[in-house]
Amino acid sequence: MTRNLRTALLAVAGVAGMTGVGFASVPLYRMFCQVTGFNGTTQRGDIAPGGIGDRVTVRFDANTNPALGWEFKPERASETVDIGARDMAFFTAKNVSGRPVTGTATFNVTPSQAGKYFTKIQCFCFTQQTLQPGETIRMPVVFFVDPRLLADPDARDIRAITLSYTFYPVDSAKTSG
């Protein structure tokens, strides 16, 4: 094999490898955030371990992208919950536009150290939501704060957690194909 051919093959392999890394970076970053709670990413779970008697305040924040045409807000601004116990909060959304609109929610938790201990069992943010003109819906989120929060030296002093959602319109061109 000539030196030029070997260099060309290595260059093609390098470009192919970097392209693969580029496509894999988003799912790999998402998995990293879900495992570590990095940047306030919450966890998903099936069952709460049960209350331990210690409590934390959970604040609820709701935002919408202006292009969505929705009013979106929590039913309660905050609630004090038992750490480890299953709890539920409701948000309401109303389509104030004159057309059906599909939205999807992104979320995070602050302080970011609490993200890996905030676990959602059920959430409207796991699926897209479509509202007809003038339609109002109540959307639940079922969650718990993992008791391991109290054992983490970086998180054990946290007494207030903010769960924040932002709804964005879904690009219908991307979902209809």
pLDDT tens digit string along 50-109? 777 899 999 999 999 999 999 999 999 999 999 999 999 999 999 999 999 999 999 999
- Nearest 5°: phi and psi at 52? -115, 5
pTM of the model: 0.71
Burial category of 164 from C-beta neighbours within 10 Å (exposed 0-12, middle 13-18, buried 19 and up):
middle
**Distance from C-alpha of 95 to C-alpha of 145, rounded to nearest angstrom:** 31
Q: What is the pLDDT of residue 20?
A: 62
The strands making up 129-131's β-sheet, listed across from edge to edge, are 78-82, 55-64, 160-169, 101-110, 129-131
Burial category of 97 from C-beta neighbours within 10 Å (exposed 0-12, middle 13-18, buried 19 and up):
middle
